[in-house]
Every structure is written in C-alpha cells, then in structure tokens.
Amino acid sequence: MRKLIVSTFASLDGIMQAPGGPEEDPTGGFNLGGWMFGYADESMDIAGSGFDGKDRELVLGRRTYQIFEAYWPYQPDDHPIAKTLNAAKKYVASRTLAVLHWNNSTLLHGDVVSAIIALKAQPGPDLQIIGSGNLIQTLQAASLIDEYNVWTFPVVLGRGKRLFSETAKPSALRLVHSQVSPIGVVMSTYVPGGDIRPGSFPSAEPSEKELARRKLMANDMW
C-alpha cells in the first residue's frame, strides 16, 4: 500500500489559500494572495517536503490542477521544479473537467474516495497532494492521508480557505519532524496518531460556583 502525502503552506491561523500570488486564487474576495512572499529562505527543503513532487505521483484538486497547468508547462526547460512536475504522473479530481491538457494527467472518475483507495492499492511511488484544500478535507475525513507536511508561516490572515474546516474528522497527529527557518517558518511533518483521547487534569472537588456554572451549561444558559 503506497502512502498518500500532503504538502501545504499555511498561515498561523490555518489559511492555505493563494500563498504564491494575488492572481492565484481570489475566490471569495480573498485579497491577500501572495502572503508567503518575503519568507523564502535557502534552508527550506522544498524537495524533502514533497512540494516538487519528485519521485511521486501527484493527486490534485481541480483548482490546483488549473493553476499548475497554466504555469509549470510554460517555465524554462531547465527549471528543476517545472521539470519534475511536468514529467510526473498526475491524477485530477474534478466533477467539471472533461479533458486534461497537461502532460501525463488523468481524470479520476466517480467517487474520489473510492478512486484514491484504488490508487493507493496499486504498485508505484507514493502519492503526493500539493495545495488542493477541498480534496485534502475530503480525504482527511475518510482517513486516507498518511503524512502531512505543513509549513506554517508567521502571518495571521483572518479569512480565506483553511487547511482544516469545521467538517474535519477529529483525530490526533504525531509530530515526526520539525525545523524552523531563520525567518520563523515552522516546517513540520505529522503522521496520524489515532483517536483523540479526552481527559482532564486532576483537581479538587468542584466548587459550588463551578457546579452552578455546569448547571447553566446543561440548560444552555451559559
């Protein structure tokens, strides 16, 4: 079973929309596109975190596919990331596209969860998701993601498309690697850590005020 790996840039408040430029994805009136500009640093290992798709097959949502299709094939032939992404095999989840023009691209037909399960069972390199927020949320809810590479930038955006939405499946993650760039970008790798196990810290018996507060909460009056 090959792994399904997510790599994404995110703000401190979890926004992943349009990190690269103002024209990338202004949907919903998002006017902060290009928010990661100015944080690039030579210490950032793009390849190590899967952002270049090297030695992997790509799984992309429709919007990310269209952004990439309109950009990477038009870069110089010796551009290392363009060379890798253009050559990689790409699977695209879309309900609206009928034809794909980017080299080595294939539409995923039918239910995307079933399609990804089938892809993971096939022989081949690991599967890599870049961007594709809606697709990430669908596959996270189905417990199909095996690794998250999240680069958290020291910015607060307040609005925009989030990495995890209100529909996210509650689950624990385990940190397996973390590095901080000189300018403050936290580059972390997580793997699934099982279910969340709620608990409480040991304390004395609740006070009368605490019992009264709990009663208000139970009656939806708090």
Q: What is the DSSP string of 143-167?
A: T---EEEEEEES----SS-BSS-TT
Q: What is the pLDDT of residue 15?
A: 97
Would you state the pLDDT for residue 120? 97
Measured CA to CA, the distance from residue 222 to residue 63 in angstroms comes to: 42
- Residue 47 has a pLDDT of 75
pLDDT reported for residue 79: 93
Q: How far apart are CA 134 and CA 147, in angstroms?
A: 17
DSSP 171: -
Per-residue pLDDT of the chain (222 residues; tens, 9 = 90+): 999 999 999 999 999 999 999 999 999 999 999 999 989 887 787 777 788 888 999 999 999 999 999 999 999 989 999 999 999 999 999 999 999 999 999 999 889 999 999 999 999 999 999 999 999 999 999 999 999 999 999 999 999 999 998 889 999 999 999 999 999 999 999 999 999 999 888 788 989 999 999 999 999 999
Strands (E), 49-197: 57-61, 90-93, 105-108, 127-130, 147-153, 173-180, 186-192
